[in-house]
Structure 1
């Protein structure tokens, strides 16, 4: 339908007929937009999906959300992208697991006339429309500055990170290291745990065998920070170690509320999903969009954790929040 519309416009111009087309935020027709996530197995990505779904409702478009089973399945994501191209969707909103691996398939989408907006993690490829997400280097600097503050600028810490070679986790490590660079904080170990909580338990247990008196742990996502804390707690060291995560997931927020994790860098995952779809709708309507649309981050700790729980209402149902935090707390905070 959209292609016929454009052919009509061209024909009118050839015939000398003046045509006025107004750009509007709401979709001119029900576009089919595919949102391809890094995974579907965590609350973070469910929050991104909730934002995308709300944007679909607000702008009157059809949005399908797909993703691999976890964040290590790079080829599964590539295959999902190929499938969406074969379905001839009107637009792709993509959180690429490994930008270098996705480059070819994303350029293929462009060559087929399918615009691409990246979210969460940027990627460099010819013809990209826009990127909406967190500046991971800058957000990780926030985590590093917070660690310096909590440890008074000195101590021994470990970093538990996502898969080696993953661009987003590289940025989250490099920004953190940049922030602690002028302090007397020493990183004694940096180990990958593939963004998995269970794997992080094992990794942290191994680190503690060599460094039993560690002062801090930085996990480059919340799942790994939670796994690291579990390992620390099993050695009765958890109360004395500063543990910082990254993402602002409900489980991490609950852990902070319970006095376990110290803090997390909150990405506004809901608005990342929402903004990605909004940018795609504007693009399909012929509107100009910014090449980069930053979505702000902030630190969640015990001082603002209750406010953060209230904010989760945008992404999760009350039943879901009661299941995570308990009925009494949700009644106290939301009623």
Structure 2
């Protein structure tokens, strides 16, 4: 087993969420005595497709996959599995294309974000919703958030599409600020975008400071919460997600049965917890 190698095909190594997933996998891989490599797609679905196709030539002993675009990687993941290489999906349930999946509880996460904003703001207050890509896990998060926000009487006055990018979120918020519309809260569908919103608000010296809620629980977001720049984040615990995925991989490689889908439920982290 010491000579075995496992490879993680991830969307973007620049994203702090994925870096923490990698750190979680690395901790377990080191304990298990397995060699571990990462292959980043730079958020390019075409590049990731090519990387997975090349995997059949390099033939690692197992792979983890977090797809940039789930539809485009389904076929190569199935081919890799048919070649006898275990495929563990991380953060998205790629049922039918993988050996097993380890995912976050996105429905609960969206609810927690909206519920916290509602508890922090009066009914009828305006909020800005910063969206990531239309991935299945994000869609669950978004659907749950929008439904609970409406139920609580919050008004989504602006939606900004930022593709999980801190830079795009900053640019989108800068553009929105030129509209001179009042808002009281922000929900960003990941922490990187929440930090981009903070960058824009800091640059504009915006006041009064809104209630900002992110999603992921990455280190820089926790630092922003402690500094009073963010109000909360829905922590998926990406490190634990990586550790669980590594444990599932070990079970599969040992020919032991595993659940098709393992969920790691999120928690809300505020200044009291950070």
Q: Fold match, TM over 0.5?
A: yes
Rounded Cα–Cα distance in structure 1 between residues aligned with 2:22 and 2:8: 8
2:92 partner SS: coil
Deviation at 1:116, TM superposition (A): 1.0
Rounded Cα–Cα distance in structure 2 between residues aligned with 1:238 and 1:122: 41
- TM-score, normalising length from structure 2? 0.93
Task: Name the structure 2 match of 1:260.
Answer: 229
Give unmatched runs, 5+ long, in structure 2: none
Please provide the CA RMSD for this pair.
1.7
Rounded Cα–Cα distance in structure 2 between residues aligned with 1:162 and 1:238: 26
Rounded Cα–Cα distance in structure 1 between residues aligned with 2:35 and 2:128: 44
Deviation at 1:50, TM superposition (A): 1.2
Q: Give the greater-gyration-radius structure (CA).
A: 1
Any conservation in 1 of the 2:93–2:261 contact (CA below 8 Å)? no
Moved over 6 A (4+): none
Rounded Cα–Cα distance in structure 2 between residues aligned with 1:84 and 1:64: 12
- TM-score, normalising length from structure 1? 0.77
Give unmatched runs, 5+ long, in structure 1: 1-26, 306-335
Deviates more, 1:256-265 or 1:39-48: 39-48
2:249 partner SS: helix
Rounded Cα–Cα distance in structure 2 between residues aligned with 1:232 and 1:101: 37
Deviation at 1:218, TM superposition (A): 0.7
Deviation sequence 1:292-322 (CA, Å, 0-9, x none): 11113111111111xxxxxxxxxxxxxxxxx
The correspondence for 1:200, drawn from 169, 172, 177, is 169
1:264 partner SS: strand
Task: Name the structure 1 match of 2:266.
Answer: 297
The correspondence for 1:273, drawn from 242, 247, 253, is 242
Deviation at 1:279, TM superposition (A): 0.8
Deviation sequence 1:124-159 (CA, Å, 0-9, x none): 334x22111202122111111111111133311111
Q: CA, structure 1 residues 194+238, in 2 after alignment: closer, same or farther (shift >3 Å)?
A: farther
Task: Name the structure 2 match of 1:222.
Answer: 191
Any conservation in 2 of the 1:239–1:260 contact (CA below 8 Å)? no
| Residues 1:117 and 2:85 are matched in the alignment | no
Deviation sequence 1:146-184 (CA, Å, 0-9, x none): 111111333111111113x33333222112112212122
